[in-house]
Amino acid sequence: MTRLFYVFLVGCILSGCSSSNSSEESLTLIEQLKNTTWSSSLCESHMGHPYTKHSFSVSTTELIFDYVHYGPECIEQLGEFTEIRPFQLFGQLTTESGVKATEIDILTIVLQPGDIEHNIKDLLHVSADNLFFGLTGREMECEPENLRVDVVGGGYLIDAYVCDQRPTQIDFEHVYTKQI
């Protein structure tokens, strides 16, 4: 009986250490990212605007996205707006490519009839002055039971896709460069 108690005690201590280590990694990453700004060089479609560039700043609990809409070929600026998304970091995992990434949930409003708030499950990988998110959207293999929104845009409809599962790959095609 005493031996069983010690096995239980050691198990509790070990599980406590692993969860605090994950918390420590998240806190370290937040401290590393806090008060930084990351910029995407891509000109891509966003919210029905076909030519958009964006950057985001990181606070302790929020990602502040700044979007700039342009005319064709991203030359003439037409408008801009800011979107604030609360986030939460979790533990690390090893992706299919072998790099370590941190699990991140980003609260996002999905624009569709009813404007639903949704926690986007994603990955975050930082390498020197480059930041990458996970491979999401139609490129990831979404299990059918996890598909929440799939609206192909056109006309006045905005293209929207939400898969309620965490990606397993990093999207190395979309790089964010550290600005500050």
pLDDT digits (tens, 9 = 90+) for 47-90: 778 899 999 999 999 999 999 999 998 999 999 999 999 999 99
Find the mean pLDDT for residues 39-53. 88
- Per-residue CA distances from 96 to 29, 93, 169, 176 (Å): 21, 10, 6, 21
pLDDT mean over 37-54: 89
Residue 113: its pLDDT value, please?
58
CA–CA dist 172, 130 (Å, integer): 10
Q: Is residue 151 part of a domain?
A: yes
Domain count of the chain?
Answer: 1
Q: How confident is the model at residue 155 (pLDDT cuts 50, 70, 90)?
A: low
Helices then strands, counting H and E runs in the chain, come out as 1, 11
Asked, for residue 68, whether it belongs to a domain, the answer is: yes
Q: Across the strands, what pairs with 64?
A: 57, 84
Full-prediction pTM beyond 0.75?
A: yes
For range 34-50, the mean pLDDT: 89
Residue 98 is part of which domain span?
33-178
Per-residue pLDDT of 79-137, as tens digits, reads 999 999 999 999 999 999 999 999 999 998 755 556 677 788 999 999 999 999 999 87
Cβ neighbours of residue 116 closer than 8 Å, sequence gap 6 or more: 109, 110
pLDDT at 154: 66
Cα 74 from Cα 44, distance rounded (Å): 9
